[in-house]
Chains A and B, each alone.
Chain A
């Protein structure tokens, strides 16, 4: 097994991508991996936020049109991910963090598929209709595992004790960010409600003035 992995890592293709001084080698493959992640996680994350009711004003059904871009993002990530893995497959095969990342991606993709199925199940659903509890459950799971996959991907280069410290720090950071996001959502909703009620009061006063 070890010899097989070494043969992949020392293949002509892997050596070229790893060692070429051109920016079109390793750096560009890494950049494509980032583009794929931004579109895959970013767009599916926005769909999940709508499913969870964070942005209820956004119509749900047209979000389905974004799925092809999400799928392209996934395949760009999958292909560049295989290339990047082949460059250091021997050390990655001994890195538990790498397996956490891979497992997180698998769970996130399954959750994305399930969320899509439940969220867009009814084509005649009203745009402002809340999503089903199943869709919300899968959306939460997907967001959590995307976060874990991103963290796992970033930490593969670090020593084990740094990864453990990072995981603890992330738990705290996520709690703070969630509280901040909750505050932002409430603030913008309250502002929208105030603006709506003040505009309706104004129009009522105009009608009264005319009468």
Chain B
């Protein structure tokens, strides 16, 4: 299993790109931040509305922001993949070793998964459709508020652990 992961996680083409063009890492970091700001800006507004802030928004109107949030997430995912698969070119440590030993990276990925599961439950439980009917001034159902609060908490946790990744201990 370890050999398979070691083989799949290191992408020589990405490493070559990072070796050849020194600006790639910094630009991708900037794009990662832009994606994060888009994601937090759009999903954050929906979460805050469901929690009872700025109730003047009809929820259906706020949901028009979702494609921008998805765009931000895709930007983060693409650049994040580049960081993991090409990390050897930056710090000379195998990505498998980083993933195995950096508890903060593990926590970040775990919280991203939790945020995804939270979103899935939001749709599966029918809360997504229920909040679509909320007009300006309407209060969201308690379960929708729970999902919104969890979403805000989980994305903030993702940002927090992401910032701690460089201080994680790598043990080759």
Contacts from A to B (Cβ < 8 Å): 23, 26-28, 30-31, 34-35, 37-39, 41-43, 45-46, 49, 55, 57-59, 61-63, 65-66, 69, 147, 150-151, 154-155, 158, 161-163, 165-166, 168-170, 173, 181, 184, 188
Contact = CB atoms under 8 A, between A and B. Distances in A.
29 contacts: A26-B167, A27-B163, A27-B164, A28-B163, A30-B163, A31-B163, A38-B37, A38-B44, A39-B40, A42-B36, A42-B37, A42-B41, A45-B41, A46-B45, A46-B65, A46-B68, A55-B65, A65-B56, A66-B45, A150-B30, A154-B26, A154-B33, A158-B22, A158-B26, A162-B23, A162-B26, A169-B21, A170-B30, A184-B71
B26 A150 contact: no
B41 A43 contact: yes
Interface string B147-168: 0000000001001101110110
A45 B38 contact: yes
A31 B40 CA distance: 14
A65 B57 CA distance: 10
Given A165-B23, A181-B71, 18 more contacts: A28-B163, A31-B160, A34-B162, A38-B37, A39-B44, A42-B38, A43-B41, A46-B45, A58-B64, A59-B56, A59-B61, A59-B136, A65-B54, A154-B29, A161-B22, A173-B27, A173-B31, A184-B67
Nearest to B55: A62
Contact of A46 (B30, B42, B156): B42
A23 B167 contact: yes
Interface string B4-39: 000000000000000001111011011101101111
Contacts of B71: 181, 184
A55 to B, nearest CB: 5
Interface centre among B37, B61, B156 (most CB of A within 10 A): B37
B58 to A, nearest CB: 7
B62 interface: yes
Task: Classify chain B's interface size.
Answer: 35 or more
Chain B interface mostly: helix
B70 to A, nearest CB: 9
Given A27-B164, A43-B45, A155 B56 contact: no
